Chains A and B, each alone.
Chain A
Amino acid sequence: GAGVSQTPSNKVTEKGKYVELRCDPISGHTALYWYRQSLGQGPEFLIYFQGTGAADDSGLPNDRFFAVRPEGSVSTLKIQRTERGDSAVYLCASSSDGLAGGNYNEQFFGPGTRLTVL
């Protein structure tokens, strides 16, 4: 696609439910990042994939959060037993590896999924 896409754009759920957030990166981008952004704050790193593997998951707040990228393209962020504190905008970004002429330094962000846990 032309840019990073994320679905759904908005998700309202009840406390204790399970949610999945999807990210479709720019075609050919090997690196994919998930961030979480609360109102009035900067994005907070969650996890980074290089290809299919999670290269750094140090930002995941606890074991209720999990992310996969089975074919090295689309990624899904999964949140179990949601809590009200999980309410935020979840941003996905992708970047090239720079080998094919892309700018490795630039991360392209998707529009985000606004998650509200009631």
Chain B
Amino acid sequence: QKEVEQNSGPLSVPEGAIASLNCTYSDRGSQSFFWYRQYSGKSPELIMSIYSNGDKEDGRFTAQLNKASQYVSLLIRDSQPSDSATYLCAVTSGGGADGLTFGKGTHLIIQP
């Protein structure tokens, strides 16, 4: 049974600071890793994908992958109140077209 673990939070971060979200996964065969953002009452929206070890940056977001430690993280720089949401980590054994295994999500609150 594939498992994805996240701290459910809430994680409270002051506006302008760096928010750090973490995720671990159980299946060593996992190949593709995703971070989705979900606002309350809305559907998940993809914000980052990462496929190889190391860092991947996109604007204020940086995803980090360490396959040896089975660990994925998401850093949000210069956090804004609009970043307040639940962040879902998802993994799959194949490419992005495979069905995703999600964690429970981390509830992030950016305090103005």
A and B: bona fide binding partners: no
